[in-house]
Amino acid sequence: MDICHTSVMLNELLEHLIPKSVEGLMIDCTLGEGGHTEAFLKTYPLLHVIGIDRDTGILEKAIARLAPFGDRFTPVNAWFDEFLADYSGEQPLAVLFDFGISSYHYEASNRGFSFKKHEPLDMRLNRNDELTVGQIINSYRQERLADIIYQFGEERYSRRIAAAICQNRPIVASDELAQIIWKAVPAAYRYGSIHPATKTFQALRIAVNRELERIIPALERAIDVLLPGGRIGAISFHSLEDRLVKQLFRQAAIGCSCPPQAPRCMCEPRPKIRLLSKKPLIPSEEECNTNPPSRSAKLRLVEKFEVTHA
């Protein structure tokens, strides 16, 4: 079987994600091709893993890869926030998030994730959803497009890019969109460290899959369902994701339930988790060299308190 994706920060996760007890359940919320899950199943023979992915194409690959583990692996086709919202099964001793998309999406999905390819502008993880990136590009007002590109891509030329998109509609293919963006930005920006379409493509992918709005509810629920003493690992790849993870973990570690506008804490704080490190872990130099997409990864790890601290 062709595996496209190299799992990120695997050694760090194997070392820190599973607490003392190694018998029980792990929920891999972003299964992908199953790289992390496979390593955990091999390393911890008493572990059972529920692996979630919204994308049926990649889920099928993971199911085939993990078949040798029999009923120690349970696949689920769902958005992780929706799955966790309804979850009432065995309390997991570990929950893993490895946000974003997989190399499979760029290399083999034929859904326009890569600006280097001539593919339809789709980018949906759930192919039953109605909205595609093509519809966003070809029907949204210029201001709304610019806002999306700015908000979810932190792209400083968002307004120019949105104007160029609107002037060149209809746009059908990913390389066509990349070319329009290339021409829209200042010449100096075209030869920077990343392709000038990178941030716009990231923004469109985030928008069509509503990626960011799923993170906080999923992390909150993960803390709730976690076994006391259990751990959560969250790998993010850009500042928008990492900011949400950092903020939610900090809040849960402080445990204050006062409204944000309160001048000072009026409640009895009840910390739910402790941060395993103040700063996120980052990949080793060796990993960055052997797997360049890992370069921007940040891993935050937390542990749920055995009892809620008053």
Ligand X SMILES: C[S@@+](CC[C@H](N)C(=O)[O-])C[C@H]1O[C@@H](n2cnc3c(N)ncnc32)[C@H](O)[C@@H]1O
Rg from Cα positions in the chain: 20
| Given 7, 114, 200, 294, the residue binding ligand X (CB under 6 A) | 7
Q: Quickly count: other Cβ atoms within 10 Å of residue 228's Cβ.
A: 14
Residue 83 vs 150, nearer CB to ligand X: 83
How many residues touch ligand X (CB under 6 A)?
22
Spell out a b/e string for 136-165, using b for 16 or more CB atoms within 10 Å of the CB, else e: bbeebeeeebbbbbbebbebebbbbbbebb
Closest separation between CB of residue 33 and ligand X, Å?
5
Closest separation between CB of residue 27 and ligand X, Å?
11
Single out the segment in contact with ligand X by CB under 6 A; choices: 25-33, 63-71, 127-135, 162-170: 25-33
Q: What residues have CB less than 8 Å from 234, skipping those under 6 apart?
A: 96, 97, 99, 219, 245, 249, 299, 300, 301
Closest separation between CB of residue 302 and ligand X, Å?
18
Closest separation between CB of residue 57 and ligand X, Å?
9
- Crossing angle (nearest 10°) for helices 174-184 and 198-209: 130
Q: Which of residues 87-116 bind ligand X (CB under 6 A)?
A: 98, 100-102
Of all residues in the shown chain, the one whose CB is closest to ligand X is: 32
Q: Which of residues 226-285 bind ligand X (CB under 6 A)?
A: none
| Given 84, 94, 125, 299, the residue binding ligand X (CB under 6 A) | 125
* Cβ atoms of 34 and 55 closer than 8 Å: no
Residue 108 vs 276, nearer CB to ligand X: 108
Task: Label residue 4 left, alpha or beta by phi (over 0 means left) and psi (-120 to 50 means alpha).
Answer: alpha
- Distance between CA atoms of residues 244 and 116, nearest Å: 30
Closest separation between CB of residue 230 and ligand X, Å?
19
Residue 265 corresponds to which tokens in the numbers above?
A: 């804490």
CA 232 vs CA 30, 92, 307: distances in Å: 13, 10, 17
Instruction: Verify cis geometry, omega within 30 degrees of 0, for the bond prior to 170.
Output: yes
| Given 5, 61, 124, 272, the residue binding ligand X (CB under 6 A) | 5
Residues 36-65: x/- map of binding to ligand X (CB under 6 A)? x---------------xxxx--x-------
Residue 14 vs 256, nearer CB to ligand X: 14
Residue 55 vs 155, nearer CB to ligand X: 55
